[in-house]
A and B are shown apart, each in its own frame.
Chain A
Amino acid sequence: MDEAASRSHQAVNHSANSRVRKVALVGNPNVGKSVLFNALTGAYVTVSNYPGTSVEVSRGSATIDGVKCEIIDTPGMYAILPITEEERVAREILLNESPDLIIHVIDARNLERMLTMTLQLIEAGLPVLLVVNIMDEAERMGIGIDIGLLSEKLGIPVIGAATAKKRGVVEIRRAIISHDSKRHAVFGYSRRLEKDIDEIASALNGEYHLSTKSLALLLLQGDDEVAALVNASEGAQAVSVAEKVKAKRFERRESFHMDLSMERKGIVHGLLDGVITFPDKRRVTMAERLSTLCVRPLTGVPILLVVLYFGLYKFVGGFGAGTLVDLLEKKLFEGFISPWAITAVKAIVPWEIIQELIVGEYGIITLGLRYAVGIILPIVATFFLFFSILEDSGYFPRLALLVDRIFKKIGLTGRAVIPMVLGFGCDTMATMVTRTLETVRERIIATLLLALAIPCSAQLGVILALLSKAPGALLVWSVCLLLIFLVVGFLTARLMPGETPMFYMELPPMRLPQFSNILTKTYTRMQWYFMEILPLFILASVLLWLGKITHFFETAVDAMSPLMAALGLPREVAVAFIFGFFRRDYGAAGLYDLQTKGGLDARQLTVAAVTLTLFIPCVAQFLIMKKERGWKVATTIGLFVSGFAFGSGWMLNKFLLVTGILS
């Protein structure tokens, strides 16, 4: 045990201070873990991907009565036996980091269902503190819970809380430092199951963080990771243990999972006897009424349109890309920073070439920083704010079920709506999130559609600003992209072998998002985004500068001019496309520059905007595509997207010329 503890201490302990108490928050999704996490920790929070995964884990620190604590917010898990990648990460943390205390957060309204995992945690011999959260809502619904009796029956400390209202936080803090992990109740299964468990458990002699009873049950449920762990720890005995497990699993092949679940359900039922009281009649809350409106097609679709109109068009497009960009780019950069930087650099640096690099046409400050801070930052910030509000209000699962039928046609399930919406913020981030989709097929289709037809917020903001000046252009652009999204998705789904998986999702109650929580989320996303894009923007500036001084750039523009001519565009647009290779938004911003100089008519603008939106993803997205899907798939998608973009641009140009819609 000591050896294991020191191993994990070395591996993950960030602070070098003497003894840090490690506390892990675990529980289902949507039970208020993050809110509790924010209430316990202060401003010092790090969010990072768990090694080797795309799953985010937040860590923060807190000092309670002089005791230093590291608090870990684990991804949502339903049971100790993992199915999804999130659950796998959550269990890894329990297994490998051996926390001093595990706070299991559950939803008071779903006590019966969620206590099953508390049982599993206690059974595993882990030091558990149970927090029955969302008590306020439960009380409003007329559900009564005897916390004291529950604590007595479970043999562990239990705290009733409503963390969103700060209720119970003081007690939780106190419990963290005074927790005594020695005592807990023991739960018995049926004689037959206990015998089966014992047969496996008694064969286990290695050193484990979890109890042998818990391990035996996981082995019987066919847990590959635990099997590997046991295999490594048992040495010479490993083969005979594996044989025993195999024989038992075959013996109970009919219904082991079901039997175990039913027995656990029975235990929980017994535990709750006298603990919980329900109202005679179910009370319908406001949130439930709103939820119903969101999921009925008749009211749900108009609500979706309203959300998109005000959220994306008005807030991100109008306020972010309009007001804020004006303020930062026009007033701040062009008014103060750029002139000041130009004067300063010219005074200090005598060489014209270096002056060009810093403050020239493609200068690091005058172009790279201006784009990143002046144009992209406000748009992305407003988008992430919008996204976080939707996420915290519980709207996404409702949107997912609304679009599931349509998404099935393009080979995806409703689940994919989250990466798709996130793609409107940042396609790179969304491509990473496609990992959460169930099958490889879905991931590839989603990656392709993100690369092709989903414009990211920065690009979207610039394009909206650009096209709003030409009436009709915006409509043509939206119709084109929607059509391409559906047609390409539909064809890909036909061409790619494999079946579309089933769709299932829990609908968390709708709730008013918490302001502080949204700000934290937006901030961490912004931070990630900015860290990722700023170096790229600066690199792009340098490359463009190199291109300019070596005249390679002009050669490239020349080389692309036949292509531009085919699309009916002036050759200067080639610049925007070359920009676009570094980042799509960068390219769109280049288009914006061109348009403000008055170089494009409505048709040209639309063709350029459509082509650019479809055009090859930015370098960062391409790199992530390669990392997530492998170079073969990434290259194929890249080539297809480029060809398709120009093809569509060409066709659209011909179509607009013949029909004369925008002239």
Chain B
Amino acid sequence: MKLTEKAEEILESMWIAIEEEGRGFVDLDSVEVTADDPAVRELTGHAFVELKGERIHFRPEGRAEGEKTIRRHRLAERLMMDVLNIRGDNAEIKACQFEHLLNEGVDVKVCTMLNHPTTCPHGKRIPPGECCEEAASRGDLGVVPLTELKSGEEGEIAYILTEDNKKMQKLMAMGVLPGNQIVLMQAFPSYIFRVGYSEFAIDTAMAREIFVRR
């Protein structure tokens, strides 16, 4: 079953209003549709929502579906920002288009690649999916750039992601090698980390290129 984009957007608006803002229902006006809109009929047809006059209410199935939709939207936002480095309004528009592709297992892949994020770029919660719960129960902390570590936190170097070969050689010659333990000692004004008994200072751009398994 695949909903139309319009129907998914209604579900999203409803989920935000009802689940996050604590309202009991939404008005047809506020989601800019009329009762005979095909999208509304689609949702009632799937028994996701109930229409009472001008008000739309969630049915339990609809609530679950809404949660999945909002999850896909916020994952798409993260993907735009963290991986593709697209920001601002453009990121929002692209995320809105992209979220509709994130079904049938694609969302799980994206979520895993992003290391099961819990918030969207605007700080709102991303409802956890099954993949997130599985990862948490396995204790798999995932791989994060060094910038994500807190001062004093320790990890194992997973890989170095840099296009500059010379820099990678230098880092490796300095002992920054996958498998070595790394301790982040300070994050401002520069990143300071320790590998073995040696300490190094690097800037933010470089810290983003060292990936650490927590």
Contacts and interface: CB of A to CB of B under 8 A. Distances in A.
B171 interface: yes
B170 interface: yes
A414 B178 contact: no
Contact of B189 (A291, A297, A504): A297
B192 A295 contact: yes
B179 A265 contact: yes
A507 B173 contact: no
Interface in B104-152: none
Interface string A404-423: 11001000011000000000
A408 B189 CA distance: 12
A78 B174 contact: yes
B203 A258 contact: no
A81 interface: yes
Contacts of B202: 502-505
B170 A401 contact: no
B201 A414 contact: yes
Nearest to A405: B189
A506 B169 contact: no
Given A112-B175, A262-B178, A507 B170 contact: no
B190 A257 contact: no
A292 B201 CA distance: 12
A652 interface: no
A404 B177 CA distance: 24
Contacts of B185: 292
A433 B132 CA distance: 53
Nearest to B162: A502
B64 interface: no
A110 B172 contact: no
Contacts, number: 107
A502 B205 contact: yes
A402 interface: yes
Interface string A139-165: 001010000000000000000000000
Contacts of A262: 177-179
A110 B195 CA distance: 9
B41 interface: no
A262 B203 CA distance: 25
Interface of B: prevailing SS: mixed
A258 B168 contact: yes
Interface residues of B, number: 32
A27 to B, nearest CB: 12
A653 interface: no
Contact of A414 (B172, B177, B190, B199): B190
Nearest to B172: A261
Given A258-B178, A262-B178, A404-B190, A502 B203 contact: yes
A295 B200 CA distance: 12
A113 B195 CA distance: 9
A503 B201 contact: yes
A83 B175 contact: no
B196 A113 contact: yes
Nearest to B170: A83
A464 interface: no
Interface of B: 160, 165-175, 177-179, 185-186, 188-190, 192, 195-203, 205-206
Given A297-B188, A506-B174, 19 more contacts: A78-B170, A79-B173, A83-B173, A109-B198, A112-B175, A113-B174, A113-B198, A258-B168, A262-B178, A401-B189, A401-B192, A402-B189, A403-B189, A405-B190, A503-B190, A504-B167, A504-B201, A505-B200, A506-B199
17 contacts: A79-B169, A83-B166, A112-B175, A113-B174, A141-B197, A257-B169, A292-B185, A397-B201, A401-B192, A402-B189, A403-B189, A404-B201, A404-B203, A413-B203, A502-B202, A502-B205, A504-B203
Interface of A: 78-79, 81, 83, 107, 109-110, 112-113, 116-117, 141, 143, 221-222, 257-258, 261-262, 265, 291-292, 295-297, 397-398, 400-405, 408, 413-414, 502-507, 509
